[in-house]
């Protein structure tokens, strides 16, 4: 029995050293385990920065339909869903997903509302009424201010305490120049099977406020860890390498990110 196991392992090892074996292993990892992504825009500052290169955990929310690398063509034609459904994103998770209006593009945002949740924005502030109801809101968001509107309890600015990278830009004011969705957003209920995504760089994020919630089938995974990071001056950010999203919220690392944003975004009013 041991000899058979040894022979099988030896054969597998030899196969893995062939070109065919190597390609199969690499594609298996890319399709089902981890995939490399680069953060191209500033919508997730200060949590994730432009130039962060990270591995995405592809199995966090089930197994999504494999796509041919670079071409982004689904291997199962006509589908952009999941082969196997898994856990749903949790409130506050950073999620990698396919942009609903162009599924060849990947976006990275924070999930701020689940199916059945209600939300609105007033003067840039997010308010959330969780689908579980008022009693759940009191317990799950006990550290947050709760506001009663229309007979329901709404959590004011949820996630900001756990995720200090969430911020607004004081230079963006409601003067008719900028999109109204940045400042005020009418109450909605997130449809079943969909998730409302917003960038942590709230006033510079092209997100669900503009193009709607994200179907579960388009959700690909969640950031795992940063394997490389370089700023706009081509300097390596050594303090970010090897860090998970949770690690990047530590005070010292976050302060570096904030200082970099202040330097770079002095005159930036772009939506990412």
Q: Which of the residues are catalytic? A: 43, 109
String of DSSP letters for 10-39: HHHHHHHTSHHHHHHHHHHIIIIIEEEEE-
Size of the chain, expressed as the number of residues it contains: 272
State how far the Cα of 219 lies from the Cα of 60, in Å rounded to an integer: 10
User: Within a 10 A sphere around the Cβ of 268, how many other Cβ atoms?
Assistant: 13
The CA-based angle 122-123-129, given to 5 degrees, is: 25
Name the phi and psi angles at 41, rounded to 5: -135, 170
Quick check: 194 and 215 in contact, CB under 8 A?
yes
Quick check: 51 and 31 in contact, CB under 8 A?
no
State how far the Cα of 248 lies from the Cα of 244, in Å rounded to an integer: 6
State how far the Cα of 26 lies from the Cα of 36, in Å rounded to an integer: 12
3-state secondary structure of 219: strand
* 255: its two tokens: 């302060």
The phi-psi region of residue 151 (left if phi > 0; otherwise alpha if psi is between -120 and 50; otherwise beta) is left
């Amino acid at each position: 029995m041991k000899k058979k196991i040894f022979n099988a392992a030896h054969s597998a090892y030899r196969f893995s050293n062939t070109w065919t074996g190597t390609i199969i292993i690499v594609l298996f990892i890319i399709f089902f385990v981890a995939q490399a992504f680069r953060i191209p825009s500033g919508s997730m500052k200060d949590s994730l920065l432009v130039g962060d290169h990270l591995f995405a955990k592809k199995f966090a929310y089930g197994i999504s339909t494999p796509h041919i690398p670079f071409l982004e063509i689904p291997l199962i034609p006509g589908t952009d869903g999941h082969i196997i459904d898994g856990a749903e994103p949790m409130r506050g998770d950073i999620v990698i997903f396919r942009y609903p209006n162009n599924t060849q593009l990947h976006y990275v945002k924070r999930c701020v509302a689940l199916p059945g949740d209600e939300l609105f924005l007033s003067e840039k502030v997010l308010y959330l009424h969780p689908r579980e109801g008022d009693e759940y809101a009191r317990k799950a968001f006990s550290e947050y201010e709760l506001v009663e509107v229309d007979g329901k309890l709404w959590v004011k600015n949820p996630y900001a305490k756990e995720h200090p990278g969430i911020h607004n830009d004081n230079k963006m004011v409601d003067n008719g120049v900028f999109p109204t969705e940045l400042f005020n957003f009418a109450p909605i209920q997130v449809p079943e099977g969909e998730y409302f995504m917003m960038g942590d760089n709230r006033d510079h994020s092209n997100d669900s406020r503009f193009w709607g919630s994200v179907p579960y089938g388009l959700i690909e995974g969640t950031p795992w860890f940063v394997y490389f990071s370089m700023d706009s001056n081509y300097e390596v950010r050594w303090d970010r390498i090897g860090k998970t999203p949770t690690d990047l919220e530590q005070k010292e690392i976050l302060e570096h990110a904030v200082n970099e944003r202040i330097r770079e975004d002095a005159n930036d009013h772009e939506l990412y």
